[in-house]
Amino acid sequence: MPRAAIFDMDGTLLDSVDLHALAWHEAMQQFGHDVSFEQVRSQIGKGGDKLIPVFLSADEQRDHGKAMEEWRGIRFKTEYLPLVRPFSAVPDLLGRVRAAGTKVAIASSANKDELDKYLDIAGIVDLVDVTASSEDAEQSKPAPDIFEVVLEKLGIAGAEAVAIGDTPYDASAAGKAGIMTIGVLSGGFTEVSLRAAGCVEVYPGPAALFARFEACLLAT
């Protein structure tokens, strides 16, 4: 049995991927970039440091990359954060993990303020042992930094943890830190893409993972 379960937030525990994509899409348009909602959505799960270079040249990043990311942050906080809701059975799942004697950690590309609000929205403030946000990592997913921070905080090796995420970027980042990953389809990525990135198990969402807990990687 693993010593820790490391959860992503957006798209894994919270139904927020489309809302993030909208904020980024609007930010791109605000700063003159013809980037579609679908193009942006395919990159959600990365932090801004990895998402912005997909669409902006080096010169554009130097000119207004930081300003665009700040605009997106304000837009998301004011327009979309109030609309974020948790997926079903999230507290049940994390409670079940803790009942098994496994630590619960969060590794999110959100900033610390957003992450604090997410924990409250999901109703899991008292169920989480360790958190790491974008401020804790030099590079965001798919770089392994944030998982390495969590492992250090927990005082364990990658092989002693299991990650749970909804994007190929979660699985890729976790794999680089030596962590096996359970994928969930709740963020909109396909099972094929999740398994190709390294997920060893895939479930429809948190409720399905909770329902099949005894047979999943978290219990073996």
Retrieve residue 194's tokens: 């999740």
> For the stretch 179-216, what's the b/e string if a residue is b when 16 or more beta carbons lie within 10 angstroms of its beta carbon?
bbbbbbbbbebeeeebbebbbebbbebbbbbbeebeeb
Residue 220: the pLDDT is 75
| pTM of the shown model | 0.93
The CATH number of 17-82 is 1.10.150
Alpha-carbon distance of 11 to 110, in angstroms, equals 12
Retrieve residue 169's tokens: 């970027």
Residue 162: the pLDDT is 98
73: exposed, middle or buried (Cβ count in 10 Å: 0-12, 13-18, 19+): middle
**Closest by alpha carbon to 160, among 42, 2, 34?**
2
Can you give the C-alpha Rg of the chain in angstroms? 17
Choose which CATH entry (3.40.109.10, 3.40.50.300, 3.40.50.1000, 3.20.20.60) describes domain 4-15+86-219: 3.40.50.1000
End-to-end CA distance of the chain: 5
Residue 193: the pLDDT is 97
Domain ranges of the chain: 4-15+86-219, 17-82
Identify the bridge partners of residue 6 per DSSP, sorted by sequence position. 105, 163
Extract the residue ranges of the chain whose pLDDT is less than 50.
none
| Residue-wise pLDDT tens digits, 170-188 | 999 999 999 999 999 999 9
Helix then strand then coil, % of the chain, to nearest 5: 55, 15, 30
Helix intervals (H) in 166-205? 168-176, 191-196
Residue 192: the pLDDT is 98
Residue 47: the pLDDT is 85
Chain Cα centroid distance, residue 155: 21
Residue 69: the pLDDT is 94
Residue 111: the pLDDT is 87
Retrieve residue 59's tokens: 């010169």
State the residue for tokens 């959100």.
Answer: 110
